[in-house]
Chains A and B, each alone.
Chain A
Amino acid sequence: MQVIVDNLPVLLQGLGLTLEYSAVAIVLMIIFGLIFALMRISKIWILRGVSTVYVEIFRSTPLLVQLFFIVLGLPGVIPLNEWFGPRNYPILAAALTLALNEGAYVTEIIRAGIQGVDRGQKEAAASIGMTGFQTMRYIVLPQAFKRMIPPLVNQAAQTIKDTSLLAPVSVVDLVYKGEIVIAATYAGFQIWSVVALLYFIVIFIVSKVAAYLERRLQVDKR
């Protein structure tokens, strides 16, 4: 028990870093998701094509492999470490890779949200003389947004868990701090228990928020 109390500050510091990476990745994944989703429903085939290739590549390979490839593999052929600095590049690249990976799923969530709005809603908007932009702005997006919130919150929870994969590419987070503490104390059982519990608490709060939003934001108000 003493080993936990002694090392809790270090682990909480790691949790703080994990939450920072999570926040950055969640903001970026929504930006990427929105851009690529609009590309995916575009009438211009090249935009659709680029978006489809992006989504397929990031969804069809493991995140850990993507991280190894971009953080550790790419600097072998491109002098990225020199350009960005050997300390900065791994962190920047890891955060960006995580955001791109999660963004691929968010692209699908947003696309499905927009396309899930009943066609009759768009026809009704057209029938009162709305332009395509007005229809998107006043009718489709407000309905799509409510539909998208629960899956987006779930994806955010997934992103928080996926930050644990940053440790293997030497980004300091909760898992990384845990490994350091264990290397010094050999208290693997106690420390991994605390690490798991800390993740659990964070994710539990997030999924409670998701459940609450799901109840509150049904598309058809009652």
Chain B
Amino acid sequence: MISVKDLHKSFGENEVLKGISNHVEEQEVVVVIGPSGSGKSTFLRCLNGLEKATSGVIEIAGMELTNPKTKLHELQQNVGMVFQQFNLFKHLSILENITIGPRKVLKQSKEESNAAARELLKKVGLTGKENNYPDELSGGQQQRVAIARALAMKPKVMLFDEPTSALDPEMVGEVLQVMKDLAREGMTMVVVTHEMGFAREMGDRVIFMDDGYIVEEGTPSDIFTNAQEERTKSFLAKIL
């Protein structure tokens, strides 16, 4: 589903990704962990073209992202993204937030997109909030709407960029629950997070990144109880 070969990314003189290669299978849930500044968010943002790779090859959802001929917006229709700051469209109601993509990008009818959006709101537990605006919702509710907005495009892959980092602690659980449901349904997911509980429970594979490299990867139990690399051990010792 995702294949990355020797991905490099620099911001000016500063090289943030120093050669990342990886492969994500269909229906796999991959959790990326690592200290801040390790490049994990940049890696995720490269996967849907929000950051342009400096060099390397990325294939995702059957399209070659790094090929200049690929139409980025077509690729992005197939790759959902959930942001740390939710980024709901502030001027649109909850229902419109979810339907604007299907209506304007996929050219669905109003009836069809509204019905699908109501289904998605039910799925994330927010039936009844259709006509509210983003600022009227709690952070946890907004993030669940953001997940529904991404799912409305029927993506083949979902990317999560620290989806619970901006939330009050009591709201983390409701967002993680939606993500767990999604993982159980077989969605292919790449999740950058500090929620080690989620990584342990739901991750098929955990990737530890530091200083622009993938230092170590393996099953959650490999990484959390039997890490081989010194840097992985010292990171886990600090946060667990």
Contacts and interface: CB of A to CB of B under 8 A. Distances in A.
Interface string B34-62: 00000000000000111000000000000
B77 interface: yes
Interface residues of A, number: 22
A168 interface: no
Nearest to B80: A127
Contacts of B79: 127
A131 interface: yes
A130 B152 CA distance: 13
A219 interface: yes
A126 interface: yes
Interface residues on B, range: 20 to 34
Nearest to B81: A127
A220 to B, nearest CB: 5
A219 B89 CA distance: 11
A121 B50 contact: no
Contacts of A123: 50, 81, 83, 87
A137 to B, nearest CB: 9
A219 B101 contact: no
Interface in A143-172: 143, 146
A120 B50 CA distance: 11
A9 interface: no
26 contacts: A118-B87, A121-B89, A121-B90, A123-B81, A124-B81, A124-B89, A124-B146, A126-B49, A127-B76, A128-B100, A128-B150, A128-B153, A129-B78, A129-B101, A130-B101, A130-B104, A134-B105, A138-B104, A142-B91, A143-B91, A220-B133, A221-B91, A221-B135, A222-B133, A222-B135, A222-B136
Given A129-B74, A129-B77, A146-B91, 11 more contacts: A121-B90, A124-B146, A127-B48, A128-B150, A128-B152, A131-B73, A134-B105, A138-B100, A139-B89, A220-B90, A221-B91
Closest 8 CB pairs of A and B: A129-B77, A128-B101, A124-B87, A127-B81, A120-B87, A129-B76, A220-B135, A221-B133
